Amino acid sequence: MKKIYHLLAFLLLISIMSYSYLEHDKYYLSISDFIKAPEKYDNVLTEQQVKIESITKDSFTARFGNDYITVKYPNMQKPKNGMVTFTGYYKKEGYIEAKEIRYNNYSDGKYLFSFIGLFLFLFFLFKEWKLTPRGFENA
């Protein structure tokens, strides 16, 4: 009976992976798809996190891997580390019109806090428990 459950779980996993592989591009188009046929995706909503290459007063050039695209947004400010997250609409003229922008000025700070938390956790773990060949024991 256990083997049947494992087989069913495996088949379910394979079917979910196949469905995702076949249906992903219908819901999550890439920038390359938009660049190839911008008129096809006119007014389609998108949310992206990008690195800014160049910036002007009312637009910026965003890098998506090897692709570059213009994103229009009034009163654009330069973020401290060059990363922004925006929500906007694809336009048939070949650019994205952003309706909301979030500046990711200190997005790397979460890694610093995570390392501090990890070190504190390990400190208290090994203060209370001693690692032996047979596992953990009270210190």
d(CA 82, CA 53): 8
Domain coverage including residue 129: 111-138
Tell me the sheet residues that pair with 64.
67
Is the domain of 82 the same as that of 120?
no
Is the domain of 33 the same as that of 73?
yes
Q: What is the pLDDT of residue 83?
A: 85
Q: What is the pLDDT of residue 31?
A: 84
Is the domain of 74 the same as that of 97?
yes
What value, to the nearest 5°, has the Cα angle with vertex 73 and ends 43 and 53?
105
Is the domain of 120 the same as that of 62?
no
d(CA 98, CA 52): 14
21 occurs within a structural domain = no
Q: What is the pLDDT of residue 85?
A: 92
Q: What is the pLDDT of residue 4?
A: 94
Q: Is 77 helix (H, G, I), strand (E, B) or coil?
A: coil
Q: How many structural domains does the chain have?
A: 2
Mean pLDDT in each 10-residue stretch from start to end of the chain (139 residues)?
Answer: 93 94 77 87 90 89 90 89 89 94 83 92 89 80
